[in-house]
Amino acid sequence: MRISGRVALVTGASSGIGRASALRLADAGARLLLHGRDRDRLAALAERTGGIPLVGDLAGAGEADRLAAEALRLVEAVDIVVCNAGIGWAGPFEAMGAGDIERLVAVNLVAPMRLTRALLPGMLARACGYLMYVTSIAGRTGVAGEAVYAATKAGLDTFAESLRLEARGTGVGVGVFVPGVVATEFFARRGRPYERALPQPLPADRVADLLVDQIAAGGAERYAPGWLRLPVAVRATMPGLYRQLAAWFG
């Protein structure tokens, strides 16, 4: 996928992986549409990259459709979509409020689906485009204390895989990016900071390098870091052993 000169929409661009990916895409020559909730941060990023800020919260009803409509009003076509916006919640499932459940499902799963539904037809008509979905290792292995978050990321993972099969031969690529622990504000926002000694969080700019390289290569899947394939493989081939290890190490 040629990035230079293409229009890329990045959701969740005001911080973390989204911001770092937007900077990397700008360096590669992309024209940017920058979505996020923080107006000031988004404005600063837009000034730095020459992108267009689109402020909004994907938890709101119809917000993904509004975002897609505004994007298509501003540009002739959206060539690359990075569905990165996501929120977490940490703690026992029984302590989670119904509103929290609905917000996670809306932002992490429903919004990417609706955004895709609005922008995919144009890509198919042009026989060119790339859809990138930022999921999580939690969606491939499950994580105690993050049941709903893990479920939304697993759903997004399966949605992307199914969409890839549908889009085969159309000129539209579909990729999944599966990060582990990344040094962003995500953990503080979910209500529980990251306190493990290992694994060490990856820098967001390094993760963004891998993500944008995947877009350029038209790749279907990438883990960050790569060794995360190992626990996923153990879970798939030896589920009993995996559950024992998960119980011991958390």
Whether 149 is a known active-site residue: answer yes
Q: What is the distance between the alpha carbons of residues 216 and 92, in angstroms, rounded to a whole number?
A: 40
For residue 224, the SS3 value is strand
Alpha-carbon dihedral sign for residues 221, 224, 227, 233: negative
Q: Check if the beta carbon of residue 139 is closer than 8 Å to that of residue 157.
A: yes
For residue 84, the SS3 value is coil
Helix pair 16-27, 204-217: axis angle to 10 deg: 50
- Please name which of 88, 85, 38 lies closest in space to residue 191, comparing C-alpha atoms: 88
Q: Check if the beta carbon of residue 173 is closer than 8 Å to that of residue 130.
A: yes
Q: What is the distance between the alpha carbons of residues 119 and 77, in angstroms, rounded to a whole number?
A: 9
What is the DSSP pairing of strand 52-55 with strand 129-134?
unpaired
Catalytic residue of the set 133, 149, 223, 242: 149
Q: Check if the beta carbon of residue 33 is closer than 8 Å to that of residue 54.
A: yes
Ramachandran quadrant class, 50 (left: phi over 0; alpha: psi -120 to 50; beta: rest): left
Q: List, by residue number, the catalytic residues.
A: 149
